[in-house]
Structure formats: C-alpha cells, structure tokens
Chain A
Amino acid sequence: MNGPDDFELDATELVRPYVITKGRRLPDDDQLSLITLVTAAPEQVQRPLRLSPEEQRLLDLCSAGYLSVAEIAGHTRLPLGVVRIMLAGLTEAGYLITRPPVARARLADKELLEEVLSGLRAKFG
C-alpha cells in the first residue's frame, strides 16, 4: 500500500477539506480522540446555526445512535482531521454530545481490564 501512487493527492483534494471545515483549526487531541463516542444532542438544546451540507450530513449520521470519531470518518470517507474539526464545531454549537473514552488514569485499572478479559472469554470461549 505504499506504492508511489499512494502519494498522489491533487490540489482539489487539498483545498476541499479546508473549505468544508470553514478554515477552522484542529481541536485539541483529547477533545475528540479516535474513540470518543458521539451522538446528536436532543433538538431543544441545539443552537440554530446555518449548517453546511457536510455538517448536516454528519449530524444525520450521528442522529441514530452513538459512533466513535474514527467510525464517523470511516463511514463518511472524510479525512480524520476534517471530521474532527467539523465535529468540534458541531459540539460547540450544541448539536452533538460526546462521551470521552476511558480516562487515562483508569487505563491500567484492574477492574476495567478484568471486564475486557471476561468479555472476550464470554464471546469467544
């Protein structure tokens, strides 16, 4: 997958993400990690904002349940950086709710690892 062709990226593909993110910059890494879970907020808390078609599309995608940031990028086939910027904007405007992943302090948590282990065993024997 690292043939010379993989490095091709033409100008329109570079410009387009900039346009659809309205020139916003990347959010903090921790704010929207790959596995932050995202869903649409209840309508009453959404601040009216003029959404771009791309933002509307992301919102639609998120309205039927929770997906991780990585899954949203995967399903929309948008570059991860672009998705993170758009999700940050939508979250800020109250359109989305995010559930951050397990806090770093809990990663080495015995209980958490035990839960993962017993879950794996239950599933696969």
Chain B
Amino acid sequence: MVSGPSLGERPSLRSRDYVAGGATQTAVKILVVGHFAVGKTTLIGSISEIEPLSTEETMTRAAQDVDDLKGVRGKTTTTVAMDFGRLTISDRVVLYLFGTPGQVRFVQMWEDMARGALGALVLVDPERLADSFAVIDLIEQYGLDYAIAVNNFDGNPVRAEASLREALDLLEDTPVVTCDARDEKSSAAALTTLVSYLLARVG
C-alpha cells in the first residue's frame, strides 16, 4: 500500500476533475465510516462524480492509538489511507465524502476528518455487529451525528431492526436504513436519510 511520492509524474487532470464553479463554492463533508471491509470505498465510489481518490498520512507513534500497533515492534511510523469522493450539490455547495479505514484508530486522521463534518454515515454489517462498536464510540466521541446504514450483503438473513438497534445501543431517533453500497441510488438514499436527520436535529 505504501506507494511513495511519485514525484516525477505530473498528474494530468481533465476539466471535470476540478471543482465546478470553484470560485463560488464552499465545501462540506460527510464521513463514511465502519469496520474493515464493510463497503465504505464501494459506497463512496458508487456516488462520487470523480474517480475516488485516496490520500495517506504518515503517522508517528505518538499520534496513534498505540493499542492497535502493539506487537508491531520496531516501527515508529506507519501510513494510513483515507479515501474520498466528491459530489457537486449546487453552484454554492460541494460535498466531499470521506471514508476511514476500519479498525485502526489514527487520532490525527480522525481529527482531520471529523473537524467540520456535517455528520457521519456508519456502515454496519449485521453479521459482524460487534465490529461496529469501536467506530460508533469514536463517532460519538467526536460529537458527530450519524445514521446507520445496514449493508446486508448478498444472501445474509435480514436482522430485525429492533434487535439491531438494541445490539448497537442506538438512540431512538437514530435513523437505520438498509443499503447496498454498490448501488448508486441505494447509497444516495442512505445519505439522504442522514441529511434529513441532521436537518431535523437543527429543527
């Protein structure tokens, strides 16, 4: 995964890679979070107007949740990728979607991502609910409002919403939607649910 700076290459961008009407745009972002392999990158890719990009932060040990790196002896830095996509909402607002890696907590990266986010869409695999606890904790810790998008994958038995709510210890008004991350409309509907909820929260 470490690609290293490719300093010789000049990326050649097409005009649609740039933010349309950039001079009047302000940017907002929504986080797409969830445990390992739950479909974050897939969801971002299904609704982004640009080819999803990723970026790496080089982490020093001091900046990490050391727990996650125990046993990785002799390493003081690591890199971590976040991926993201973009959606032009109007001639005034451009929305970025940021996905974070699954189970490892990188404090600096989470701070960068959470700061100024509208809210978060938490992808959940009902077969692996316990894996979602840590990420939900983190989102709550950063004070972000969130909605749950349940990715049932193929052929898995559908878990009743009530039992899922209980297992995840959700507040009554936290929205829960099902979502096929590969499907543009389904992913967009999950986002719409989140934003409606955010709107309801401001009254």
Contacts and interface: CB of A to CB of B under 8 A. Distances in A.
Interface in B52-66: 53-58
Main SS at interface, chain A: helix
B55 A80 contact: yes
Query: Number of contact residues on A: which range applies?
Result: 35 or more
Interface stretch (B126-134, B160-168, B172-180, B190-198): B190-198
Main SS at interface, chain B: mixed
Query: Number of contact residues on B: which range applies?
Result: 35 or more
Contact of B185 (A30, A104, A125): A125
Given A36-B27, A108-B201, 10 more contacts: A2-B36, A7-B69, A29-B112, A34-B29, A37-B25, A71-B53, A78-B5, A79-B55, A82-B5, A110-B199
Across chains A and B, which 7 residue pairs bring their CB atoms closest together, nearest first? Answer: A66-B22, A65-B18, A74-B53, A119-B89, A124-B188, A35-B27, A73-B55
B78 A80 contact: no
Interface string B1-42: 111111101110101011100110111110000001000000
Contact of B56 (A14, A20, A79): A79
A84 B19 CA distance: 19
